[in-house]
Structure 1
Amino acid sequence: MKSLKRFNLLFLEDNETFARHMLELLSRFFAQVFHAKSMKGALELLEREKIHAILSDIRIEDGNALEFISKIRQQDTHIPITVLSAHKDEDFLLKAIPLGLGEYLIKPVEFEVLMASLGRMAEALDRLYGRVECFGENLGFYKEERVVIKGEERCPLTPSEARLLELLLAHRGRVLSKEQLEEWLYPEGVVSDSALKNLVLRLRKKIGQESIENIPQIGYKISK
Structure 2
Amino acid sequence: MANEQNQLTILIIEDDEHINNVIFKALSQEKLLCTQAFSGSEGMIHVTQRDYDLVILDLMLPGLSGESFIQQLRTELQSDIPVIVLSAKDKLDTKLSLFALGVDDYVTKPFEIEELLARIHVHVKRKGINKPVTSYQHKNLILHANTRSVEVNGTKLTLTKQEYQILEVLLKNKSRVFTKQDLYELAWEDHYIGEDKTITVHISNIRNKLKQCDKESYIETVWGIGFRLSP
**Greater Rg by CA:** 1
Match for 2:2: what amino acid? Answer: S
The answer to whether structure 1 residue 56 and structure 2 residue 54 are counterparts is no
Q: Helix, strand or coil: the match of 1:105?
A: strand
Alignment-mate amino acid for residue 69 of structure 2: F
Secondary structure (helix, strand or coil) at the match of 2:12 reads: strand
Structure 1 residue 157: deviation in Å? 8.4
Q: Tell me, yes or no, if the aligned pair for 1:14 and 1:60 is still in contact at 8 Å.
A: yes
Counterparts of residues 200-219 of structure 1 (less than 5 Å): none
| CA RMSD in angstroms, aligned pairs only | 3.2
Over residues 120-154 of structure 1, what are the superposed CA-to-partner deviations in whole Å (9 max), with x where a residue is unaligned? 1221331xx4x5xxxxxxxxxx4xxx449xxxxxx
Matched AA of 1:52: D
Give the number of aligned pairs. 141
1:3 counterpart = 2:5: no
Determine which of 89, 92, 102 is the counterpart of 1:90.
92
Partner of 1:46: 47
Matched-pair identity in %: 23
Q: Is the 8 A contact 1:9 1:30 kept in 2?
A: no
TM-score, length of structure 2 as denominator length = 0.52
Unaligned runs of 5+ in 2: 135-143, 147-171, 173-231
Q: Structure 1 regions of 5+ residues with no counterpart? A: 132-141, 149-155, 159-205, 207-224
Answer 1 or 2: which has greater strand percent: 1
Is the partner of 1:62 in helix, strand or coil? Answer: coil
Give the SS at the match of 1:47. helix
Structure 2 match to 1:17: 18
What residue number does 2:114 align with? 112
* Letter of the 1:107 counterpart: K
Is 1:35 paired with 2:36?
Answer: yes
CA distance in 1, matches of 2:79, 2:101: 8
Deviations 1:51-88 (A, max 9, x none): 12100112101132211111100223421000001230
Q: Check conservation: 1:80, 1:124, Cα contact below 8 A.
A: no
Rounded Cα–Cα distance in structure 2 between residues aligned with 1:157 and 1:34: 16
8 Å contact from structure 2 (residues 26, 113) kept in 1: no
